Structure 1
Amino acid sequence: MTLLPKDNSLTQIEHEEIGGNQLFPVFLKLNNLHTVLVGGGNVGLEKLTAILNNSQLARVTVISKTFLPEIHELAARHEGLSIVQKSFTDNDLDTAEVVIAATNDGELNKYVRQSAHDRKLLINVADKPELCDFYLGSIVKKGDLKLAISTNGKSPTVAKRLKEVLNESLPDELDTTLQQMSELRNTLSGDFADKVKQLNSVTAVLVKPRSVVIKNFIWLIWSTIIVSLAIVITALYFKEPAFKTFVEGVSPQFYYFLGAGFVFAMIDGAIGMSYGVTSTTFSLSMGIPPASASMGVHLSEIMSCGIAGWMHYRMGNINWKLFWLLVLPGIAGAVIGASILSSLEHYSMYTKPVVSVYTLILGVVILSKAFNIKKKKSADKVKRISLLGLGGGFIDAVGGGGWGSIVLSTLIAGGRSPIFCLGTVKLSRFFVAIAGSITFIAMVSSDHWQAVAGLVLGSALASPIAAKISNKISTKTIMVSVGIIVILVSIKSIVAFITKFI
């Protein structure tokens, strides 16, 4: 069937007054149509590749006086692709049903367009939206699922960026879902109306609003556990003298760090970072040496990051290439940093202000992110991932935090998918935390195990409910509060150190 274009009945000004994207999306069966592509250079190769990537059996004739070697290679692999080495003439479109002009000669492109319109054929003219009857949009493909992206010819770059994001965000398993739904449809009996009713019944669970009890089932479980523990502990305290003596014998430091770990884990659940820096800043203010403080942070993050990493793995949010580039250098950096900090434990009065300066800087970074002060001008992806992992692991171990603030923010600012960055960084953080913790335990003879235990237990209790509670609060409010608190406490520690020598 010949595609018949109509003359534009609206002027450009009238189009602009209407506003919005007026394009009508269609998916052509190019396997059944004859496409003529004029142009054998870089632009022609780009258009041809787009066609063959989506329709491997497409019938395409490429006409040009010269061809890139890559086009000859494509012709060798695709039976439906024909190459005609000649100058373009009108009769080259006699058997065409779709036309693409992709030469670097503007006048020739206009001539091809006129020839196509004389035959009432639709044509795409490369890099000339005003001459096009249709556009070749960016395509996201997951098996039988295809999504076409159009910017109405305004910005192909934006379309390509969106394509990258959707390609990373949409799981490959979507195609499996389509195949299963197709098989299910083939097993249904009855007329069209009956089949629709049966499919609606089967898929209702996917869109049916869940009851309040089911929606909050996890929250209900954890609330029950916490209340039950509180009742049991209260009963033991008043009924069992031995338990009361044990509780009263525990250092108050344990309870301080238990509450602090819980609060800091809630904050981390809201903004995806700052647990390390807030915990370290609090530990230093409570008189804990830097190595012991960092050890507590790393031990407490093993469980929280392990749970988060596993959930991201189950959801398919892990970029495995990025993971391996981060995790091995990150482990090496954590071991080196933990070893250096542990060897300086006896000089904690000197290392403490250094770490306080570091937490002060991170506090400023967090505060600046809250107000979007720091913006990356380029969207180029970070290339030296291994160096980023090595530096992030080292600084995280020495300063007791910074993996999320440094590694995660750098990757996202570099143009990578936030979802995949978050999942990958969380999972790699689990292994980095293990490596750092083992190094600290092997090298540090700490007298602050009750503080470490409180931090570990507090963060573990908060991890499953952090996101639900923290999402009720403005992220910007939390980041501003955290940034200010970290800055003030860090300055207090630095001033206290300086006054000792005045």
Structure 2
Amino acid sequence: MAYDEYVPVLLNCRGRSCLIIGGGKVAERKALTLLNAGASVHIVSPVLRSEALQRLAKSKVLQWTDRKYRPSDLDGAFLVHAATDDSQLNMKIAEDADSLGILANVASNGEAGTFIYPTVMRRGRLTLAISTSGAGPKVSHDIRERLEEQFGPEYEDYLDLLYRMRSMIREEVESAEVRRRLLDKVYRMDVLSEIRRGGYVPWNSDKIKLWIENNQEE
């Protein structure tokens, strides 16, 4: 059986112009997601029905143009969300975006756009995305709940330590072979068990450097 397949990617939207057409709850969710990712958010809508969006626009956290959509709104956009309550307008926005090579998400019909949002679980640096290719959001949410049990909050401290150690190893060690050996030792450390037992104390830079010095030999 063939499925409509998507390429799973994580987009870097920091500093990029991301356009949202619409001013309701869907637009609010998209805006908050993009703002959390550091994007520059521009909303085009005659009204903002979301109080959260009204506050964000008033405080200049995002740009709001209070009128109906125009094709020229797409100029310079990295991606666009068609999030109005008019399905035909959403399709028109997606078509306009596609003609310009701009990524488009269509709230009223995911398959009409060029990207969709998966159900996401986050634990600090850990991001797990779940998609059922249209089988239903309830299934995705159930899977996320099971993953939340399997990957608990201890993964935040664990991955922070791995990130800091990997970064310092790359800075402190010139030999690629020694770096590889050190990283292999890092990944074999049973830090997760220590965190789960409640006995973990975050490592400072001096402790990481000392560990690097003491573990360079085979």
TM-score band, normalised by shorter chain:
0.7 to 0.9
Q: Which amino acid aligns with 1:46?
A: R
Q: What is residue 199 of structure 1 aligned with on the other side?
A: 183
Q: What is residue 56 of structure 2 aligned with on the other side?
A: 74
Quick one: distance in 2 between partners of 1:148 and 1:21? Answer: 17
Q: Does 1:43 align with 2:48?
A: no
SS at match of 1:50: helix
The answer as to whether partners of 2:90 and 2:108 remain within 8 angstroms in 1 is no
- Please show how residues 387-398 of structure 1 align to structure 2 within 5 Å: none
- Cα 1:58–1:43 change in 2 (3 A) is same
Quick one: distance in 2 between partners of 1:127 and 1:163? Answer: 23
Give the CA deviation at 1:186.
3.1
- Please show how residues 363-374 of structure 1 align to structure 2 within 5 Å: none
Quick one: distance in 1 between partners of 2:152 and 2:186? Answer: 22
The alignment's TM-score, normalised by the length of structure 2, stands at: 0.76
Q: Which amino acid aligns with 1:198?
A: L
- Please show how residues 295-444 of structure 1 align to structure 2 within 5 Å: none
Residues 423-464 of structure 1 deviation map (CA, whole Å, 9 limit, x = unaligned) = xxxxxxxxxxxxxxxxxxxxxxxxxxxxxxxxxxxxxxxxxx
The answer as to whether partners of 2:82 and 2:90 remain within 8 angstroms in 1 is yes
The answer as to whether partners of 2:87 and 2:108 remain within 8 angstroms in 1 is no
Q: Does 1:34 align with 2:34?
A: no
Runs of 5+ in structure 1 lacking a partner?
1-16, 207-313, 317-502
Q: What is residue 113 of structure 2 aligned with on the other side?
A: 132
Quick one: distance in 1 between partners of 2:94 and 2:21? Answer: 11
The answer as to whether partners of 2:23 and 2:47 remain within 8 angstroms in 1 is yes
Residues 281-320 of structure 1 deviation map (CA, whole Å, 9 limit, x = unaligned) = xxxxxxxxxxxxxxxxxxxxxxxxxxxxxxxxx579xxxx
Quick one: distance in 2 between partners of 1:116 and 1:193? Answer: 47
SS at match of 2:138: helix
Q: What is residue 87 of structure 2 aligned with on the other side?
A: 106
The answer as to whether partners of 2:80 and 2:103 remain within 8 angstroms in 1 is yes
Q: Which amino acid aligns with 2:167?
A: N
Q: Which amino acid aligns with 1:89?
A: R
Higher helix share: 1
- Please show how residues 14-33 of structure 1 align to structure 2 within 5 Å: 17=1, 19-20=2-3, 22-33=5-16
Quick one: distance in 2 between partners of 1:95 and 1:169? Answer: 41
Give the CA deviation at 1:194.
3.2
The answer as to whether partners of 2:162 and 2:186 remain within 8 angstroms in 1 is no
Quick one: distance in 1 between partners of 2:71 and 2:180? Answer: 49
Higher strand share: 2
% identity of equivalent residues: 29
- Cα 1:48–1:187 change in 2 (3 A) is closer
Give the CA deviation at 1:90.
0.7
Residues 318-356 of structure 1 deviation map (CA, whole Å, 9 limit, x = unaligned) = xxxxxxxxxxxxxxxxxxxxxxxxxxxxxxxxxxxxxxx
Quick one: distance in 1 between partners of 2:41 and 2:26? Answer: 15
Q: Does 1:64 align with 2:45?
A: yes
- Cα 1:78–1:182 change in 2 (3 A) is farther
Q: What is residue 115 of structure 1 aligned with on the other side?
A: 96
- Cα 1:40–1:193 change in 2 (3 A) is farther
Q: Does 1:143 align with 2:120?
A: no
Residues 2-23 of structure 1 deviation map (CA, whole Å, 9 limit, x = unaligned) = xxxxxxxxxxxxxxx5x25622
- Please show how residues 184-333 of structure 1 align to structure 2 within 5 Å: 184-188=165-169, 189-204=173-188
Q: What is residue 137 of structure 2 aligned with on the other side?
A: 156
- Cα 1:179–1:108 change in 2 (3 A) is same
In the alignment of these two chains, the number of paired residues is 189
- Cα 1:97–1:186 change in 2 (3 A) is closer
SS at match of 1:174: helix
Range with greater deviation from structure 2 (121-130 or 91-100): 121-130
The answer as to whether partners of 1:102 and 1:109 remain within 8 angstroms in 2 is yes
Quick one: distance in 2 between partners of 1:119 and 1:107? Answer: 19
Quick one: distance in 1 between partners of 2:97 and 2:113? Answer: 11
Kindly name which structure, 1 or 2, has the bigger radius of gyration based on alpha carbons: 1
Quick one: distance in 2 between partners of 1:77 and 1:196? Answer: 48
* Structure with greater contact order relative to length (CA < 8 Å, sep ≥ 6): 1
Q: Which amino acid aligns with 1:108?
A: L
Q: Which amino acid aligns with 1:70?
A: A
Q: Which amino acid aligns with 2:68?
A: S
SS at match of 1:45: helix
Runs of 5+ in structure 2 lacking a partner?
191-195, 199-218
Q: What is residue 172 of structure 1 aligned with on the other side?
A: 153
SS at match of 1:62: strand
Residues 167-197 of structure 1 deviation map (CA, whole Å, 9 limit, x = unaligned) = 3442222111112112222332124443122
- Cα 1:113–1:84 change in 2 (3 A) is same
- Cα 1:183–1:150 change in 2 (3 A) is same
| Cα RMSD after superposing both structures | 2.3
SS at match of 2:139: helix
